[in-house]
A and B are shown apart, each in its own frame.
Chain A
Amino acid sequence: MERQTLTCIRCPRGCQVTVTLDDGEVLAVAGNGCPRGEAYARKEVTAPARVVTTTVPVDGSDGWAVVSVKTAGDVPKALVRSVVSELANVRAKAPVRIGDVVLANVCGTGVDVVATRNAT
């Protein structure tokens, strides 16, 4: 049995929700003010995921030194820093268009990193 406490982000109230887990299985959720809090807490303790946004340097652009990028979907929260580390060695080359893949399959997640700004 394991207990995790987290802050629900589904509304400004920010309920402190306590989740009781046994071997990764959610046994109970308490402290949530509404059903949305339970759904949030279940997802957050079993498979927390985030979209990562950062920048990479861009070569050959007259307007931009860096181009902003994001993971095209959620990646596991535990890999957020690894995603940024892997991108530390990546440079983009102008012209870059929004949606261009800057790095495919980052950290083996199956998720691509794509540009979020046009840089010419």
Chain B
Amino acid sequence: MRTEEVAKLADYDVVVVGGGSAGLSSAIAAYDAGAARVLVLERDVRLGGILNQCIHNGFGLHRFGEELTGPEYAARYERALGERPIDVMTHATVLRVVPGQGVVAVSPEHGVFRVGCRATVLAMGCRERPRGALDIPGTRPAGVFTAGTAQHLVNVEGVLPGREVVILGSGDIGLIMARRLTLEGARVRCVAELMPYSGGLKRNIVQCLDDFGIPLLLSHTVVGVEGQRRVSAVTLAKVDDRLRPIPGTEERIPCDTLLLSVGLLPENELSREAGVRINPATRGAYVDDSLMTSVPGVFSCGNVLHVHDLVDFVSEEAARAGGCAARYAMGEGAADPGAAVSVVAGDGVRYTVPSSLHPKTMPEAVTLRFRVTGVREHCRLSAYLGNERISTRRRDIVVPGEMQELKVRADSLASAGGDKPLTVVVEGA
């Protein structure tokens, strides 16, 4: 159906797609920056997103200076949202983002409808890499879950998904679920990790695995799944330095459940359809310092932009996106941003967000966020404009699993001109 033929409910300044941590924070910031009409569209029946099922603590150390659980962190933002005249529609799934016009969505209450808006904030978050994307040989019995699905079953539905569990992948959700399932009475046989290092935070390895005597098998993968109706065993094998299973190292482990914690993928179907350019390194949008995508008036933040380790930084990034979306909607977006400096991932850096800066309109300083390609000790994170190092900081250690940041000041870009990019590198101390 053509967008114009869909019944229009209302007009807004800013529409936020997604009511998780990024959506909540961006909506609040958009209102506070002067957008009087803000709408949050959330497909679940409640706000809060993934925080609702993350009942462990450790959220909010940066933002609130205390260790909150996920639901507590979400509740603080929901309360702040509720104190403002911001419209919220839950159970409303966005079908299409139409730049310059608005958003088409569907809900049980309104059927298919559209809302007009001048700026849109994409805050859809990410989803887990499913098993189908992984190529594990074997049968297809019940009992294979992503770690996040198991987390939802246990922490929201109150259902234990299995009794004898093998976890593939040492991402944080997998580690957290190893502890959670153990406390609920399941036996977690091991966590197998393809890489020679864990993908999760160190404190989760200690507090979720070591505390409970759960082995972490690095450089291991699942090479087989058995079972007719339900998983009855999985076979693990060691992998060589090119990540290929080594024949003769197979070990069969009887179990009824296999959890997968093997990566998160930003959920950008709506963004792609709207014409937003996607960075293959992050699978999220290319954005500038205002977190605006390649499509004017469409902004992106949180895990749909790049997968974060800490919700605190999602909130911070989303607040910036919301504020910039509001200013765009109120007409300031029409100002000429001047020439852009592109930000390039150099030696040892996998990607950067944002991927371009506008020295003329950017704030006094912008935080570049990025991930490194490998473990490095006693190093420097630096940004070079041509041959000139304009920002640098020493780090005792950097690992791919922990997002890095580096501040760049607008005045240090004064000499930027033409096509000189800003290159971010990891270098010797």
The interface of chain A, by Cβ under 8 A from chain B, is 6-7, 9, 11-14, 33-34, 50-55, 57, 63-66, 68, 70, 77, 80-81, 84, 98, 116-118
Contact = CB atoms under 8 A, between A and B. Distances in A.
Contacts of B183: 52, 54, 80-81, 84
Q: Quick one: which of A7, A66, A77, A116 has the most chain B CB within 10 A?
A: A116
Given A14-B205, A55-B155, 18 more contacts: A6-B206, A7-B202, A11-B397, A12-B201, A12-B398, A12-B402, A13-B397, A14-B202, A50-B211, A54-B55, A63-B45, A65-B157, A68-B71, A70-B57, A84-B183, A84-B184, A116-B71, A117-B72
A50 B207 contact: yes
Interface size class of B (residues with CB under 8 A): 35 or more
Interface in B384-403: 396-399, 401-402
A105 B401 CA distance: 38
Nearest to B203: A9
B396 A55 contact: no
A66 B396 contact: no
A57 B211 contact: no
Interface of B: 45-46, 52, 55-57, 67-69, 71-72, 75, 154-158, 180, 183-184, 201-203, 205-207, 210-211, 377, 396-399, 401-402
Nearest to B154: A55
Given A65-B157, A98-B75, A116-B69, A55 B202 contact: no
A88 to B, nearest CB: 9
Contacts of A51: 57, 67
A98 B72 contact: yes
A12 B69 contact: no
B396 A13 contact: yes
Given A53-B56, A53-B69, A68-B155, A12 B401 contact: yes
